[in-house]
Amino acid sequence: MEKRELLYEGKAKKVYATDDPQLLIVAYKDDATAFNGQKKGTITGKGVISNRMSNRLMARLEWAGVPTHFVEELSERETLVKRVTIVPLEVIVRNLAAGSFSQRYGVEEGVVFDRPTIEFSYKNDELGDPLLNSHHAVALKLATPEELETIQALSFRVNELLKEFWSQCGVTLVDFKLEFGRLTDGSIILADEISPDTCRLWDAKTGEKLDKDRFRRDLGGVEDAYAEVMRRLTEHDAQ
């Protein structure tokens, strides 16, 4: 499958058309941004890790019955995916308090919830991705109530599957962001990526951060952290 015109260039990825109108090629970059683009940098090798990790996790989710956009890994940075219309929502699932949840509600990072939480924000850079509830999403016509039910159920299912998988790798899945899209028949599938850019991953024993917070918070060792989670995933898959 050949790349055709560049359709979109985002913060971490480029998206190309292909000869098949139902398929796109995603190319992962090493560019990193945080705080709505205010902080910019490069994480060497990130594109390769995010591509591989996202594909392996999506393939696992597919086996477990979660529909995803993943079709085929084409190279270390490029993947063939199903073309969708993205639902303009960021869906965040949390198992432990961290990041904006800790700040907003004054809860110490690392507090474990009795059950996972879910929240939505409106994918809109100009507005700074504001938090919204499902009623707001319907009022704004971002999704129907039925679609939101599907998105919520799939997101919690993804959490259960990924939490278990990462725990087998000695990693605590703290929280993560998902995006969903619609196929031409209207069905909802998981899209975008699942990587250390979009998940908080802590070493289960030491609590060491193995994700993009190392970049956001200038903790150093960013490349090593990305390589370490990828190593654990690969080691697990080889067993």
Residue from 12, 92, 154, 190 that binds ligand UDP (CB under 6 A)? Answer: 92
Residue from 199, 210, 229, 233 that binds ligand UDP (CB under 6 A)? Answer: 199
Q: Look up tokens 């995916």; give the residue.
A: 81
Per CB under 6 A, contacts with ligand UDP among 43-72 are none
Q: Cite the beta strand spans of the chain per DSSP E.
A: 6-9, 13-17, 23-28, 31-34, 39-42, 70-73, 78-82, 85-86, 89-96, 112-122, 131-132, 171-182, 188-191, 199-203
DSSP β-bridge partners for residue 131: 121
Closer Cβ to ligand UDP, 92 or 191, answer by number: 92
> Is residue 226 near ligand UDP by the rule CB under 6 A?
no
> Is residue 209 near ligand UDP by the rule CB under 6 A?
no
Least Å from the CB of residue 147 to ligand UDP: 21
> Is residue 116 near ligand UDP by the rule CB under 6 A?
no
> Is residue 101 near ligand UDP by the rule CB under 6 A?
yes
Cα–Cα distances (Å) from 41 to 38, 177, 186, in that order, read: 10, 21, 37
Closer Cβ to ligand UDP, 45 or 99, answer by number: 99
Residue from 165, 166, 176, 226 that binds ligand UDP (CB under 6 A)? Answer: 176
Q: Are 132 and 101 in contact (CB under 8 A)?
A: no
Instruction: Mark the segment that binds ligand UDP (CB under 6 A) among 46-54, 94-102, 133-141, 144-152.
Output: 94-102
Residue from 45, 99, 116, 170 that binds ligand UDP (CB under 6 A)? Answer: 99
Q: Are 86 and 71 in contact (CB under 8 A)?
A: no
* 180 Cβ contact list (under 8 Å, min separation 6): 84, 86, 87, 89, 91, 151, 154, 188, 189, 190, 191
Phi and psi at residue 39, to the nearest 5°:
-110, 130
> Is residue 179 near ligand UDP by the rule CB under 6 A?
no
Least Å from the CB of residue 158 to ligand UDP: 13
Residue from 83, 200, 209, 214 that binds ligand UDP (CB under 6 A)? Answer: 200
Least Å from the CB of residue 45 to ligand UDP: 18
> Is residue 88 near ligand UDP by the rule CB under 6 A?
no
Cα–Cα distances (Å) from 182 to 27, 70, 216, in that order, read: 21, 14, 31
Least Å from the CB of residue 114 to ligand UDP: 19
Q: Which tokens sit at 152?
A: 């919520």
Binding site for ligand UDP (CB under 6 A): 90, 92, 98-101, 129, 175-177, 198-200, 212
